[in-house]
Amino acid sequence: MYGIQSWGETLRLLVELSATAAFALSGLMEAARKRLDAVGVCVVAFLAAFGGGTLRDLLLDQRPFFWVQHTEMLWGVLALCVLAMVFMRQRHFEVTEKAILWPDALGLGLFTATGVHHALHALMPPVVAVLMGLITGVFGGVLRDMVCNEIPTAFKDHRPYAVCAFAGGWTYVGLWFNDAPGWVALLGCLVVTVGLRALALWRNWQLPAWRA
C-alpha cells in the first residue's frame, strides 16, 4: 500500500513539474513576442508557471507553497528561460500567437488536474475542488497576459478555455468518487481538458459573446 501511495505522489509531482514547464514556455514565448528584455522574459515565465498554483495554495491554506517545497522547479524554469532565449536569438525564431496556444492548452490540463487533486486531498467539497482546478489552470495565463498588457486569453478568446478546465475538473471528481485509481483520474482530467481545448482551437468553436 505504501508503494502505491508513493508512486501516486511521484506521478502527481511529475504532472505538476510538466504543468510548470508548459506554462513557463507559454510565458516566455509571449514575452518574446512582446520583445521584452531578459528580465522581462523571466518574470513573465515565472508568473505564468507559478501564479495559478500559488493562488491555489493560498486559498487552500497550504504551506509551504509548492515551488518553495520543490525548489528544483525554480531552477528548471530559470534554465528553460536561458536556453529558450539563446535558441530564439540564434535561430531568429519568430513567435506567433498561434504557437503559444499549444503549450498553454497542455499546461491548462495539467494544472487543472493538480488543482483538483490538492483540493480533494484537503477534503474540500467536489464543487470547491473543481473550482480549485479551474483557478490553478487559468490564473497563471491570466497573470501572463496582464503583465504583457493583453486582455487575458481566457476572457477574450471566445473559444472554450475555462469551460474546458471546468469539464476536466468534473471528470476528475467523477472518477475519484467512483474509486478509480489516482492516475486514471489525473489522466482522465488531462485528456478531457486538453482534448476539448484542442477541438475548440481546431474547429474554432465559439462561446456566446457580448454584442453591441
Per-residue HEC secondary structure of 145-206 comes to HHHCCCCCHHHHCCCCCHHHHHHHHHHHHHHHHCCCCHHHHHHHHHHHHHHHHHHHHHHCCC
Q: Is residue 208 part of a domain?
A: no
Residue 211 lies in a domain: no
| Residue 212 falls inside a structural domain | no
For residue 102, being part of any structural domain is answered with yes
Task: Give this prediction's pTM.
Answer: 0.86
Residue 209 covered by a domain: no
For the purposes of burial, counting CB atoms within 10 Å of the CB of 99, is it exposed (0-12), middle (13-18) or buried (19 or more)?
middle
In the prediction, which pLDDT does 86 show?
83
Q: Note whether residue 29 is domain-resident.
A: yes
| pLDDT given at position 1 | 41
Residue 210, domain member (yes or no)? no
Give, for all 212 residues of the chain, the pLDDT tens digit.
Answer: 434 445 557 777 788 888 888 889 888 888 888 888 889 999 999 999 999 999 999 999 988 888 888 888 899 999 989 888 888 766 666 667 777 888 888 989 999 999 999 999 899 999 999 999 999 999 998 999 999 988 888 887 778 888 999 999 999 999 999 988 888 888 899 999 999 999 988 888 887 776 65
Host domain of residue 135? 2-203
Count the domains in the chain.
1
Q: Which residue has the cell 487543472?
A: 112
Residue 94 domain-assigned (yes or no): yes
Q: Is the peptide bond before 160 cis (omega within 30 degrees of 0)?
A: no
